[in-house]
Amino acid sequence: MPELPEVETIVRQLNREIKNKTITDFSCSAPKMAVTHKLADFQRQIKGKKILNVKRRGKIILLELSGGLVLAIHLRLTGQLFVRKSTHPQDPFNRAIFQLGKNLELRFNDLRLFGQMWLYPKTQIENNFDKIQKLGPEPFDKTFILQNFKNILQHNRTKIKALLLDQSKISGLGNIYSDEVLFYAVIHPNTPANKISDEKIRKLYIGIKKILRDAIRAQGTSVDTYRDIRGEKGQYAVKLKIYRRTGKPCFRCGTKIARVKIGGRSAHFCPKCQKRIMNYE
């Protein structure tokens, strides 16, 4: 699933490519993707609307439209957004097309059909849309200061890997970057969040911001289906230190990288560098 750097990359590109364009038509071959409306109503409401701005909240893409509407898009596991010329061949697994004038299209591709779209009045998006209501602080928000991060960890006995994946605690992190920031901070993924020392919390806090910024600069990580709006891969995969490197030597000490399941998700770690000690961190 695309995480914060991938979604942020898409948002920035969409602002450059389709901001101020008008949706002249809309078609969708997977009606269940339009969650809040019947497909005909969805089509009727967005047709003729101008795209005023593109934003992000967590992993959700928000297209602010004229008429006081917001189109929210969640790519989920295999969703992709491509901006194409109308003459470009159809992409595999194309499920929805937003026609933008005569020659341009925004295409929503999705192999697994888990992606979703919602349409809300702008005045209700923050208070009535539960997917946003439940989100925790953004890693780059001004309110996400070290002390607030400490409070989140010190009041939770959850394993730190699971906590970092919990979008209600911190929004935007997924499997890739939670592994990377834990390796950066030298913390075992099974460590209870409330047992991590202040020193390690500070390093983890710094690592979250640093690694996410680096990944955004690299246009995200393509290890599965993620592509940017031009269909190009993100370049951060070559910089990954730990994620999906099971059995390969640790870049720090040479020990073979291990993998463990935590809450149904895989966590990759170095058994030596991130050694789990009885007194925790």
Say whether 131 is catalytic.
no
Q: Is 18 helix (H, G, I), strand (E, B) or coil?
A: coil
Say whether 56 is catalytic.
no
Cβ neighbours of residue 267 closer than 8 Å, sequence gap 6 or more: 161, 178, 179, 182, 189, 190, 259, 260, 261
* Bridge partners, residue 259, by sequence: 268
Say whether 2 is catalytic.
yes
Measured in degrees and rounded to the nearest 5, phi and psi for residue 128 equal -110, -10
Burial of 145-173, coded b for 16+ CB within 10 Å and e otherwise, reads eeeebeebbeebebbbbbbbbbbebbbbb
Q: State the angle between helix axes of 198-217 and 4-17 in degrees (0 to 180), rounded to the nearest 10.
A: 30
- 55, 76, 252, 265: which one is catalytic? 265
- Cα separation of 59 and 1, whole Å? 9
- Cα separation of 204 and 253, whole Å? 20
- Cα separation of 21 and 83, whole Å? 12
- Cα separation of 275 and 281, whole Å? 10
* Bridge partners, residue 117, by sequence: 34, 73
Measured in degrees and rounded to the nearest 5, phi and psi for residue 61 equal -90, 130
Say whether 32 is catalytic.
no
Residues recognised as catalytic? 2-3, 59, 265
